[in-house]
Amino acid sequence: VNDITFDWSLECPACGATASAEGLPTVCPSGHPWLVRYADRGLTLTDRADIRRGQGMWRFRRWLPLLAGEEPVTLGEGDTPLLPAARAGAELGLHDLWIKDESVNPTGSFKSRGLSAAITRARRGGARGFVLPTAGNAGVAASAYGARAGLPVRVYAPRSTPPRLLEQVRRFGGDLELVDGHIGDCGREARKFAAEHGWFDLSTLREPYRIEGKKTLGLELAMQSGWRLPDVIVYPTGGGTGLIGMWKAFAELRTAGWVTDPMPRLVSVQSTGCAPIVRAFNEGADQAEPWSNPETIASGLRVPAALGDRLILRALRESSGHAVAVDDAALASAAETVSRLEGLDISPEGGAALAAATELVRSGTVHREARIVVFNTGAGWLYQRG
């Protein structure tokens, strides 16, 4: 293992700590999330054509933590459609609405991307098994990619998680443990299990590579738009890895000269029943206090405390963005409307983002002619009961 030469290292934006990528990195010595910093990979503008000829999210392998000649643990994730939604846009009052539909990923959600990257690196680093807490979709993805890697996965989920998500965890061989409580309670159980059994903890931002997988949301969006960026990106935020990942992607693309547009305004969307990031943003705080008694039907938004709170808030502010909370009735109505008018399988979290985009335009915060990309992070059918 010692003869591997990594052309990336780890850096903590909160305290400035640095580390090599050897072994199985977790968080910085002070407990903050690491960010990956790449050595110069010699990417030039002409490499954009090569990227176009690739497939899936690993077409971006030169932007990702992959060693020369290494094969990733993949199920064909990425390459999700970026679809204009004129009929739904007209109904909602949004004149240039686009939907990035992550429901068509192999495990039915955007979680495929992060878990493909994290499990690729952790397997190489010597992990014997994986454990994580989940609101649903991450548990499905971890189980599937663990199976693909030939390694066992233990999943802790709230008992209230929609049953079909739990069925998918079991279907992909995940060892599922139900917890009376929310994802924070599940996280405590997962860390205990990891400490006792020596399995690797894949919790959001407790390892550096899920962000890198999620970064492909932003890389792909830019590529699909002809290396242009939209005016506004509206993103449902639980742990916030996708938001942080896209913010990192756009910064790296701009540094490389592949994109020259200004950073899009990033909008973080949460539920009125669990809105720690929205509250912190509105108070001007640089970190978020945990939310008491989190409740929402959008289980992916039932995250009372995010380890990446500082990074999320920094991304929102650096992009002149916003943070919006919507209630369950509004997110369910928006999901229903857009599914009916566009034939897309909108999840509750995607519905929340659509409701928030509608509200931002209605209130005049965002111009109705702005190009708005809304993320549908997962498949609606996984949340249906009965």
Decide: is 256 part of the binding site for Zn ion (CB under 5 A): no
- Interacting positions 120-179 with Zn ion (CB under 5 A): none
Please identify, using beta-carbon distances, which residue of 29 and 386 lies nearer to Zn ion: 29
Stretch that binds Zn ion, among 15-23, 110-118, 319-327, 335-343 (CB under 5 A): 15-23
Tell me if 89 sits within 8 A of 96, measured CB to CB: yes
- Nearest-approach distance from CB 12 to Zn ion, in angstroms: 3
Q: Closest distance between Zn ion and the C-beta of residue 13, in Å?
A: 8
- When the beta carbons of 307 and 353 are compared against Zn ion, the nearer one is 307
The least distance separating Zn ion from the CB of residue 18, rounded to whole angstroms, comes to 10
Q: Name the one range near Zn ion by CB under 5 A: 4-12, 146-154, 204-212, 250-258.
A: 4-12
* Binding residue (CB under 5 A) for Zn ion from 6, 17, 256, 368: 17
Least Å from the CB of residue 287 to Zn ion:
13
Shortest Cβ 55–Zn ion spacing (Å): 36
By CB under 5 A, the residues from 18 to 77 that bind Zn ion are 28, 30, 32
- Identify which of residues 26 and 160 has a Cβ nearer to Zn ion in the complex: 26
Q: Residue type at 100?
A: K
Binding segment toward Zn ion, per CB under 5 A, in 13-21, 38-46, 56-64, 222-230: 13-21
Distance CA 80, CA 212 (A): 17
The residues, ordered by sequence, that sit 6+ positions from 335 with a Cβ below 8 Å of its Cβ are 346, 347, 348, 350, 351, 354, 380
Q: With respect to Zn ion, which residue has the nearer C-beta, 37 or 192?
A: 37
* Residue 29 CB, nearest approach to Zn ion (Å): 7
- Pick 28 or 311: Cβ nearer Zn ion: 28
Q: Are 82 and 96 spatial neighbours (Cβ–Cβ below 8 Å)?
A: no
> How big is the site for Zn ion, counted in residues (CB under 5 A)?
7
Q: Give the closest residue to 302 by CA, choosing from 281, 283, 328.
A: 328
Q: Which of 4, 15, 90, 195 binds Zn ion (CB under 5 A)?
A: 15
Minimum CB–partner distance for residue 95 and Zn ion (Å): 43
Q: Which of 6, 9, 11, 14: binder of Zn ion (CB under 5 A)?
A: 14
- Residue 310 C-beta: closest distance to Zn ion, Å: 10
Contact set with Zn ion (CB under 5 A): 12, 14-15, 17, 28, 30, 32
